[in-house]
Structure 1
Amino acid sequence: MLLKTFGSSFGVTAVGLVLAAVLWGWKGFAVVAILSILEISLSFDNAVVNAGLLKKMNAFWQKIFLTIGILIAVFGMRLVFPVVIVAVTAGVGPIEAVQLAMDDPEKYEMLVTDAHPAIAAFGGMFLLMIFLDFVFEEREHTWLGRIERPLARLGRVEGLSVCIGLIALLVTATTIATDAAQHGGGHVDKSATVLLSGVAGLVTYLVVGGLSGHFENKLEEGEETDQEAEEKALKEGRQPAVGRQPAVVGLAGRAAFFMFLYLEVLDASFSFDGVIGAFAITNDIFWMALGLGIGAMYVRSLTVYLVRRGTLDEYVYLEHGAHYAIGALAVLLLVSIKWHINEVVTGLLGVALIAFSFWSSVRRNRAVAASEENSGDEFKVTTTV
């Protein structure tokens, strides 16, 4: 199963690294390899969250996520997105932006860096809303119970997550963004830009996430109606409607489509820090696209692996750890509008939170198994007596 799931990623890695070595020598090979590792370390929490959503979708849409979705992730976010940023910032066409990246990579890097406040505000608000909606929702399992249970009770207040998100954006725009860092060490007032971009990120989350949730609920209501009709027919001694599909294994149709859009926007938000962070290593857009693209392939494969192995069901705190990592990344993105945050810190923080949640899950599973074993022994003793 491991080879089947990661086979395409291994193949792309081999082709990409060979291509880098042939075209750009050992330096290109090393940079592409480092960028691949950077993307994987920064996006591990992305894979865990993706898996939690992808397991709700049927096999067809999971395949779409791995094919069309990877094209959007690799070519759209890792190659086209930086070019679009430069085109908009510099007021030039896409072709001129690519030409600028090849002829004057230093200026290209400067334009992308100067656009960072807008990018960070959009991605930071989108990720912050994901985190807030997670911690304000009541769940069967709680990882950090003393924190999560009170927050879940607060979450009963309608619109609380949006309110807190807007407060966070206002604080960022009126404090951090007034002295935003720019290329070369300068600082400018980016309050209006950050405010506009942050609102755009929040609205994007509400629209795409809301439509996805709406159609998911409609699908579940339809399944419940069909099940009730089948039970009624059996009680009355009638044969249930022939040809009706049993309970759907995964989301399909419009529900899956909007879930797919939600996943792509989520991936885009995660990729922002990877793209910006890549400039600390190289300003060659082709090295960057190849390295980050290889990393994105592993994130996709890891997502599917977690779904097929049922890892999230077995290790119940993994999603908690990933969402806390998302919250931390959202805060770091907003803070990075003014202060540079080393990519190593971002990557290690996410990995540490997920590793801690995994360890907590293992301890919980052992405790549950021991409890069940003790219960079984007590039952045997009682039966014997």
Structure 2
Amino acid sequence: MVLRIFGMSFIVTVVSLIVAFLYGGPTALALAAILGIMEVSLSFDNAVINATVLQRMSEFWQKIFLTIGVVIAVFGMRLVFPLAIVWVTAGLNPVKAFDLALNPPADDAATFADGSKSYETLLTDAHPQIAAFGGMFLLLLFLNFIFEERDITWLSWLERPLARIGKLDMLSVVVSGVALVLTAEIIAADDDRATVLVAGLLGMITYIVVDGLGSMFHTEENTEGPSELAKAAGKAGFFLFLYLEVLDASFSFDGVISAFAITSDPIIIALGLGLIGAMFVRSITVYLVRKGTLSEFVYLEHGAHWAIGALAVILFISIGVHINEIITGLIGVAFIGAAFITSLIRNRRADAEEVEAEREPTPVG
């Protein structure tokens, strides 16, 4: 199973590294490998969340996510989307933006003599609105999870009280709205306040629309059986697919910005983050679904959502303060690791109790 699931990712990795070597020699090969490793290590929480959604989709839509979704993730989010931001924010045509990305100045100046800006600087300047949009989307995802009552809780001392107050209608929207206003007023620069508010509002609208449509069609199309056993198909599958792509965008663009600490070459970024990193993240997602890992280690989903909540907060803070991407990655790894370990302890305890119950003598008569 491992070879079948990860086989294509290994093939793509080898081909990508060869292309990187032909494109820029040993340096490009090393940079692509580093970016691929960085993307996989920082995106495990993304894979866990993807798996929770993917297991609700029909086989057809799972295949769509693993084919068309890969194309969107690799070329759309890691190559075209950054270029599109440069087109819009700098008013450059696509050809000029791509040329600027491929041919940075020799001295890597942020601003040229004529007042124009480098590709990296233009992308960095767009960070506040991207962080506000992605942070709001991820924060709503986290809040809607944590405000919902569940049979199994991880941080019970905190999750159960939050679930009780979560019975208030639209509480997640209220909390996220307050967080957005505070971010714009306290963290964002004066010139960025309006932009941050608009971008955050668009992130909120996007989450509500996509999540709402997915839930509505999932309910309508599965009225003949229990929803937890049904697989979303048709319109429900499409909106879950759309939901996954927006979620991936919220995770990935911050990674693209972070990649510029290593290289500003969009080709190497597309090879490392996109082809290598995105393929392995999707393979990990499929592995989690096929192996039933989320059912076996029940706290993983909780840990991933807490990691997402932390990432949302980090995105908001990063609007005004630079935060090293290593810190972001370590927080995600810490939550996922803690959730895995506590799940393992829970399983061993349950097994021990089961063995103990079997040893107890059966009452006679």
Q: TM-score range by the shorter chain?
A: over 0.9
Specify which of 198, 205, 215 is matched with residue 207 of structure 2: 205
| Corresponding residue number in structure 1 for 2:342 | 360
Q: In the alignment, residue 16 of structure 1 is paired with which amino acid?
A: S
Checking the alignment, whether the CA contact within 8 Å between 2:47 and 2:284 is kept in structure 1 is: yes
Measured against aligned partners, the alpha-carbon deviations of 1:62-90 in whole angstroms (never above 9, x if no partner) come to: 11110000000000000001100100110
Checking the alignment, whether the CA contact within 8 Å between 1:136 and 1:151 is kept in structure 2 is: yes
Classify the secondary structure of the residue corresponding to 1:158: coil
Checking the alignment, whether the CA contact within 8 Å between 1:41 and 1:348 is kept in structure 2 is: no
| Corresponding residue number in structure 2 for 1:296 | 278
TM-score (norm: length of structure 1): 0.89
Written as runs of structure 1 = structure 2, the 5 A alignment for 1:17-36 is 17-36=17-36
The offset of 1:224, in angstroms, is 6.0
Specify which of 261, 271, 275 is matched with residue 242 of structure 2: 261
| Corresponding residue number in structure 1 for 2:111 | none
RMSD: 1.5
Measured against aligned partners, the alpha-carbon deviations of 1:209-230 in whole angstroms (never above 9, x if no partner) come to: 11001111212324369xxxxx
Alignment partner of 1:382 is 2:362: yes
1: CA distance between counterparts of 2:340 and 2:220?
33
Name structure 1 gaps, 5 residues minimum: 180-188, 226-246
| Corresponding residue number in structure 1 for 2:319 | 337
Specify which of 119, 127, 130 is matched with residue 116 of structure 1: 127
1: CA distance between counterparts of 2:42 and 2:229?
34
| Corresponding residue number in structure 1 for 2:295 | 313
Measured against aligned partners, the alpha-carbon deviations of 1:107-147 in whole angstroms (never above 9, x if no partner) come to: 00010000000110000000000000000001111000000
Written as runs of structure 1 = structure 2, the 5 A alignment for 1:53-202 is 53-104=53-104, 106=108, 107-178=118-189, 189-202=191-204
Checking the alignment, whether the CA contact within 8 Å between 2:184 and 2:196 is kept in structure 1 is: yes
Checking the alignment, whether the CA contact within 8 Å between 2:32 and 2:272 is kept in structure 1 is: yes
2: CA distance between counterparts of 1:3 and 1:170?
48
Alignment partner of 1:322 is 2:304: yes
Q: In the alignment, residue 72 of structure 2 is paired with which amino acid?
A: I
| Corresponding residue number in structure 2 for 1:13 | 13
2: CA distance between counterparts of 1:22 and 1:95?
23
Alignment partner of 1:52 is 2:61: no
| Corresponding residue number in structure 2 for 1:287 | 268
Max radius of gyration: which structure? 1
| Corresponding residue number in structure 1 for 2:114 | none
Q: In the alignment, residue 134 of structure 2 is paired with which amino acid?
A: G
Classify the secondary structure of the residue corresponding to 1:220: coil
1: CA distance between counterparts of 2:63 and 2:102?
35
2: CA distance between counterparts of 1:92 and 1:211?
35
2: CA distance between counterparts of 1:344 and 1:384?
62
Classify the secondary structure of the residue corresponding to 2:263: coil
Measured against aligned partners, the alpha-carbon deviations of 1:340-384 in whole angstroms (never above 9, x if no partner) come to: 111111111101110100000000001111111111211xx1346
Checking the alignment, whether the CA contact within 8 Å between 2:128 and 2:196 is kept in structure 1 is: yes
Checking the alignment, whether the CA contact within 8 Å between 1:50 and 1:263 is kept in structure 2 is: yes
The offset of 1:248, in angstroms, is 6.9
Checking the alignment, whether the CA contact within 8 Å between 1:51 and 1:304 is kept in structure 2 is: yes
Identical amino acids, percent of aligned pairs = 59
Classify the secondary structure of the residue corresponding to 1:190: helix
Name structure 2 gaps, 5 residues minimum: 109-117
Classify the secondary structure of the residue corresponding to 1:221: coil
Classify the secondary structure of the residue corresponding to 1:56: coil
| Corresponding residue number in structure 2 for 1:233 | none
Alignment partner of 1:43 is 2:43: yes
